[in-house]
Every structure is written in C-alpha cells, then in structure tokens.
Amino acid sequence: MEDFWLPRSGPLPRPESLEQARQVLAHEAFPAPKVSRVSLEASEFTSICPRSGQPDFGRVRITYVPKERCLESKSVKFYLWAYRDEPAFCEELTARIADDIVAAIQPQWLEVTLEQTPRGGIGIVVTAERGRPL
C-alpha cells in the first residue's frame, strides 16, 4: 500500500480502506503532553450489519491514559469513517477499534465503548478495555 497522509487543511478525503485508515491513525499520532486522561466521542458512527446488510448507527467513546503518544482527532474521524462500509457485529467492531488504537499509540490504559442505536427495539452497548487503569 502506498503511503497516504491527511491534508493539513481542506476537506477530509474518504478512506480507501480500513488498512489505510489504520496507517493514518498511527502516523498522525503526536507526542503526549503531560495529561492524565484523554476522551474522544464520535456521535455519528456507522457500520454495516453483516447479516442484513443494513446500516447500523451509534456512538463511540474512546478514553485512554497516554504513555508517549496521543491520537490526533482528525485522524480518528478518518479512521472511524473507514468502518462505514465495514460489515461487522458491534462486539467485533469495539474490539477491533481498541486493538487498532493500542497498535497506533500503545496507551497505558484504553477503554472503547460503542453504543449502537436501537434497531428492532434492541440497542447494544459494548466496552473493550486494554491495559490497566491507573
């Protein structure tokens, strides 16, 4: 795969693949300042149900204790956008997002919570935790 980086200004391009989005997430990370905890929330997360092919909507919360690097918010938007056409169950998505963030920045502790909007009357909330909380 050819190296791809986000533009410094202008509109955000659509990810070509999940692998490209993972690469950008790691590349755009920056040295961590002296902070104790970082939280990001994406209220417009979408993916595809692997059984029905229908879109699933939800909210993703990422909370972590940085070690040496922090996530850059524009790259997180780009990364999460890559899941728009990704068929996967909510539980699998949550675990993959957590694992990808660990691979990108290796935080001391990480919690990813995905709240899937109810469809058919059932909402799902899944949490994946990596590392140890302080």
Q: Calculate the alpha carbon distances from 79 to 37, 69, 95, 100 in Å.
A: 21, 17, 15, 10
Q: How far apart are CA 131 and CA 111, in angstroms?
A: 9
The answer for residues whose C-beta is within 8 angstroms of residue 117's C-beta and 6 or more apart is 56, 57, 58, 59, 123
Active-site annotation holder among 56, 70, 90, 100: 56
49 an active-site residue?
Answer: yes
Q: Which positions are catalytic?
A: 49, 56
